[in-house]
Structure 1
């Protein structure tokens, strides 16, 4: 998948997050996950060495509270963030582009999985036809039971399709919501209420259709 941060950008972005509020390591990891719509979650091995380097440079300080280590930006760190504000604008734009690319790649992977499923089903049907012929079964009967007319095969294919649709919807909406909020956008309760109502209605329609 495409990289989210270019070389050196993560260091400045961590400073920017700490300029917003003191945080411990897990908070920073979660913030980065949220701001990329869940498409990028850095490991502790990525975050903590950079925090240690920032502390060594005098740009952040840390205090230990129980079992948590809280990191806070220093005046020198704030000065660097202010001096490089134009770079942060570019990082935000690049971040949005990277998230879109990753989302496109995920959608491509889902489409490829669907193609693979159809190929597997076709191969299984062909194998069944060949097996039936070897035992002298009529070809047309084999085709009806082993290929697209088999309701079990059709059900499995449609189940996979339904799961793909749900996964794509979830990934798209989740990324849009998280990116919007992470960039300071507001999220009215009415929007969430409408979303919940629409999803409940869709779920009810599916349930009714399944029950006939």
Structure 2
């Protein structure tokens, strides 16, 4: 997904973050990643030149705190933030849209994965019933076949679990967030799949 910051927006948003409180460079990068839901994670090569330019324009000052350089907005910087409040509202709206889009994408991936799993389980159940009706196997062979299908189901569930965990961990590692509604959707989908398997086993 493309960054939500167009030309000049990042400069203004940095001033807005510093208007909230003094921050060091890494804190600014982390704040940008958090507020864009991981859709934009700036590098030091992007942030520090802009901070230097803001300092040159007299909009921020910097001071050394131990091993960190802390940036603080000046009165002139606050005046610019106030004068461009309308632009900031537009930037905030763009950030909200970006977070919503990535959350929708994750939910869609979960639904598709669950749909595929339900289809595989239903197909396996139909195949098992069809085989049983066509030629009922001896007791021992039936038990062997059932064990094979059990291993197949175990493998499918394990693969799904591993894929979802990997997707969620990667999303979080990139600065994204996992909402309660997303987890609710996942739990409902898993409950639906469990009920489908139970119905298939009882039929």
Is the TM-score greater than 0.5? Answer: yes
CA deviation string 1:59-86 (max 9, x = no partner): 1111112211000001111110000001
Q: How far apart are residue 31 of structure 1 and its match? A: 1.4
Match of 1:63 in 2: 63
Match of 2:53 in 1: 53
Of 152, 174, 177, 1:174 maps to: 177
- 2:25 aligned with 1:25, yes or no? yes
CA distance in 1: counterparts of 2:76 and 2:88, whole angstroms: 17
CA deviation string 1:74-123 (max 9, x = no partner): 111111000000100010001111222233344556678x59x98xx9xx
3-state SS in 1 of match to 2:31: helix
3-state SS in 2 of match to 1:174: coil
The size of the alignment, in residue pairs, is: 151
CA distance in 2: counterparts of 1:3 and 1:108, whole angstroms: 21
Match of 2:43 in 1: 43
Give 1:98-109 correspondences, 5 Å limit.
98-107=98-107
CA deviation string 1:158-186 (max 9, x = no partner): 12333555678886993558xxxxxxxxx
3-state SS in 1 of match to 2:177: helix
TM-score normalised by structure 1 residue count: 0.57
3-state SS in 1 of match to 2:5: coil
CA distance in 2: counterparts of 1:111 and 1:3, whole angstroms: 26
Q: Note closer, same or farther for the CA distance 1:101–1:65 as it changes in structure 2 (3 Å cut).
A: same
Q: Note closer, same or farther for the CA distance 1:103–1:4 as it changes in structure 2 (3 Å cut).
A: farther
Give 1:1-212 correspondences, 5 Å limit.
1-107=1-107, 114=113, 150-163=149-162, 174-176=177-179
CA distance in 2: counterparts of 1:109 and 1:46, whole angstroms: 32
Q: Computing the radius of gyration over CA atoms, which structure comes out larger, 1 or 2?
A: 2
Contact kept? 2:37, 2:98, Cα under 8 Å: no
Q: Note closer, same or farther for the CA distance 1:61–1:90 as it changes in structure 2 (3 Å cut).
A: same
Q: Which has the higher contact order (CA 8 A, sep 6+)?
A: 2
Q: Note closer, same or farther for the CA distance 1:75–1:36 as it changes in structure 2 (3 Å cut).
A: same
CA distance in 2: counterparts of 1:5 and 1:42, whole angstroms: 11
